[in-house]
Amino acid sequence: MIYLDHNSTTNLLEEAKNAMLLALAKPFNPSAIHGLGREGKKIIEQARKQVAGLSGIINHFRDYYITFTSSGTEANNLIISNFNNGEVFVSAIEHASILAHVKFGNNIQIISVDENGMVNPEDLKEKLSKSAAEKKLVSIIFANNETGVIQDIKQITKIAHDFGALVHSDCVQAFGKIPVDLVDLDLDFATISAHKIGGPVGSGALISKAIHHLVPHIIGGGQEKGLRSGTENVAATAGFGVAAEIANRELESRYNHLKGLRDYLEKEIAKIFPKIKIVNQQSERLPNTSLIINLGKKSETQIIAFDLKNIAISSGAACSSGKIGSSKTLEAMGFSEEERDSAIRISLGYTTTKQDIDKFLRIYREINS
């Protein structure tokens, strides 16, 4: 099968798998004080430094906490839950693990985006200026999982800090694809995930400035500096660390590889079907992501047609239990229902080849003829 759904999950790196197998070979419990416990603890701490290297904080390691979690979703829930007694400001194009909190509380305000999916800074300023809350959090996704559009996080952080708010960014899609320097961005909190960069499913992290004291929502033995109790998943964390180290080393070459393939894909599609729309084609985007609108062709129909030809793609809103729903991101950007219902997402990975793209293009022509 040709796999073009890497924003969902990418291939596990062989080096990451080998690190996990070594960790699985022994009964590691990093909380134990005997030799095997210390060995397990060493693996966890090595992974923390490997993740720090890809996050731009390795030279400021003592100023940040890296709390390993079971996923990016858990990390997002951890940070949002810490502001249940404050006020939270999120964009209209956040991942569901952020945006769905609107259903469960009345302390969350939505910041609008423009037709390019960029956060409206004036709307953010206006809402923050009217807030009387002592605790305020602004949470803005770094790079959108559907369109790939990259936000001006540095500008958003400055605005939020000027109004006394702390800032979190869901960096899951950006991490390992473009430079993410948390020190330069001045982010207070950031969420990352292993399985988007060649690590295993089931490992994520919340990175926090050490000056901020958070309250855990998983209580127990006090692991991860008391912020995330439960025996550490040494194998998954080891795989995460190795994947982060490789992504850091290959960041530029991966970017150039992915962007070259994405641009080729979009150029060739335009030749075949001039009326097809590539969402945000002129915007700053992730190098691997294309969201394609082909009016009159339902997303679900296209996905099934490709699947029957052994090509895996997704719709723009394929992130909840296999459902295909109308994209909230495209709705917030002002796209019509017909446009939203015809969007498919092509997301490339480090294993994608030009031959894969050529086959996709051939099948695309066939199913649209």
Q: How far apart, in whole angstroms, are the C-alpha atoms of residue 58 and residue 64?
A: 9
Per-residue model confidence (pLDDT) at position 324: 57
User: Which residues of the chain are in CATH 3.90.1150.10 domains?
Assistant: 2-9+251-367
Q: How far apart, in whole angstroms, are the C-alpha atoms of residue 125 and residue 115?
A: 19
Q: Which two tokens stand for residue 348?
A: 């490339």
Per-residue model confidence (pLDDT) at position 216: 96
Q: How far apart, in whole angstroms, are the C-alpha atoms of residue 224 and residue 233?
A: 11
Point out the residues that are catalytic: 319
Segment 110-158, tens digit of pLDDT: 999 999 999 999 999 999 999 999 999 999 999 999 999 999 999 999 9
Per-residue model confidence (pLDDT) at position 274: 85
Select from 52, 72, 54, 50 the least CA-distant residue to 62: 52
Q: What is the dihedral of CA 315, 319, 321, 322, to 10 degrees?
A: 20
Does an H or E element contain 89, and which? strand 87-91
pLDDT of the chain, 369 residues: tens digit per residue: 999 999 999 999 999 999 999 999 999 999 999 999 999 999 999 999 999 999 999 999 999 999 999 999 999 999 999 999 999 999 999 999 999 999 888 999 999 999 999 999 999 999 999 999 999 999 999 999 999 999 999 999 999 999 999 999 999 999 999 999 999 999 999 999 999 999 999 999 999 999 999 999 999 999 999 999 999 999 999 999 999 999 999 999 999 999 999 999 999 999 988 889 999 999 999 999 999 999 989 999 999 999 999 999 998 655 454 555 678 899 999 999 999 999 999 999 999 999 999 999 999 999 887
Select from 295, 288, 278, 297 the least CA-distant residue to 366: 297
Kind of pairing between the strands at 166-170 and 189-193: parallel
Alpha helix segments (H runs only) across the chain: 14-24, 35-55, 72-81, 96-99, 121-129, 153-162, 182-185, 234-249, 251-272, 299-308, 328-332, 337-340, 354-367
Per-residue model confidence (pLDDT) at position 321: 46
CATH code, residues 2-9+251-367:
3.90.1150.10
CB atoms within 10 A of CB 364: 26
Per-residue model confidence (pLDDT) at position 316: 66
Select from 9, 104, 3 the least CA-distant residue to 318: 9
User: Which residues of the chain are in CATH 3.40.640.10 domains?
Assistant: 14-249
14-249: CATH topology: Aspartate Aminotransferase; domain 2 (3.40.640)
Select from 335, 363, 303 the least CA-distant residue to 114: 335
* Through-space distance between the first and last CA atoms of the chain, rounded to whole angstroms: 22
What's the pTM value of the predicted model, to 2 decimals? 0.95
